[in-house]
Amino acid sequence: MNLSISGHHIDITPALRSYIETKMERVMRHCDQVIDASVVLTLEKLRHRAEAVLRVPNKEICVVGDQEDMYAAIDEMIDKLDRQVLKYKERAFDHQHASPKRAAG
């Protein structure tokens, strides 16, 4: 998986980079079909925003975390991303197993 981390109006420190990488490992445990991921951290006055785009086969999953603290925004983004990945995986898994039942019935 190719992970790119960038920032708008904020420098990406090694601490932020390692924090994002460790949090993304949680998402990768749920889905091994990830092609690439892009994380953009933005600072707008007092609001910290973390956006992620995850490319999986036949879909792009986009989530945003918006908080007053950057680490809280990253946590919110990872939680949303994790839920979306599980939802994607469940739908793909159900779809693959539903087709033989229709053919037999």
- Asked whether the predicted pLDDT for residue 103 surpasses 80, the reply is no
Q: Which pLDDT score, from 0 to 100, does residue 45 have?
A: 87
What number of CA atoms fall less than 13 Å from residue 5's CA on the CB side?
18
Return the higher-pLDDT residue of 10 and 105: 10
Q: What is the mean pLDDT of residues 6-15?
A: 94
| Torsion of the alpha carbons at 5, 83, 36 and 66, rounded to the nearest 10 | -20
* Helix H or strand E encompassing 23: helix 14-30
* pTM summary value: 0.84
* Chain segment 21-77, per-residue pLDDT in tens: 999 998 888 888 888 999 999 999 889 999 999 998 889 999 999 999 999 999 999
Number of domains in the chain: 1
Return the higher-pLDDT residue of 103 and 57: 57
DSSP E strand boundaries for 19-104? 36-44, 47-56, 59-67
Residue 100 maps to which CATH number? 3.30.160.100
Q: Where in the sequence is the domain holding 62, given as residue range(s)?
A: 2-104
